[in-house]
Structure formats: C-alpha cells, structure tokens
Amino acid sequence: MTQIAFARILQDLRDGRPHSEMTAGMEELLAAVRTTGKAGTITLEIKVKPGSRGGDVDKVTITDKVTIKAPKPERGDDYFFVTEDNNLSRKHPRQHSLDLQDVGQGKPSTFKEATQ
C-alpha cells in the first residue's frame, strides 16, 4: 500500500491555503515570541468525515482550521489622581506646582569668573 505524505495532502488541501496560512502564521508567531519573550502556539485541526452514509466509504470530506495564538506584549499601568469632584488628573490635587523657567543654553560660569 502506497502512503501519501502528509505535507503533500496539506499542499493539496483547498489549493494549499492551510499551508500558506501556517507559513504566514509561523512568521507572525516567531515575531511575537521574539518581541515579548513569551510562548505562543500554532495549531492545525483537520476533521475527516465520511462523504456518504452507510455501506463502504469511498470518499471523505476534509475540513481544516488554522489557529495562531501569538503572545501579546504587557500593556502596563498608568497612574492618575482623583480630584475632589471625581475627575482624573495627572497632577496631584493637593501638591503645589513649581514655576520653572528655561535659563537658556549659556555656558555655566566658574567660581573664578563669578568673583571677577
């Protein structure tokens, strides 16, 4: 009995679309794993159903499903302060602000220059 290689079936199934999906999915998965440092998966599910009922089965229907679970980067947190009227603010509502000014890009003076 001659066996057909699984790779050949995968290339023939729906004109090779599952094979193409898995190839593109592997690239996406590898990029996400490299970026996040976390694991991910690529899964091929193949369902085989008899093409006729009863008696001998001489044809089958094959359905495929490609699933890529790429890791997601951490989203992180952000802090806000709650004001007295229940709004959000970046500034602490009870902390005074300092009015700082830009002094320019001048050359800093040395002690000797300042005393002359």
Q: pLDDT per residue over 38-84, tens digit each?
A: 999 999 999 999 987 777 888 899 999 999 999 999 988 999 988 88
Chain-centre distance of CA 4, in angstroms?
Answer: 36
Most confident of 9-13, 30-34, 75-79, 82-86: 30-34
């009922």: which residue's tokens?
53
* β-pair partners for 46: 64
């159903």: which residue's tokens?
49
The pTM is what? Answer: 0.60
What is the C-alpha separation between 61 and 52, in angstroms, rounded?
9
SS3 call for 61: strand
What is the C-alpha separation between 57 and 65, in angstroms, rounded?
23
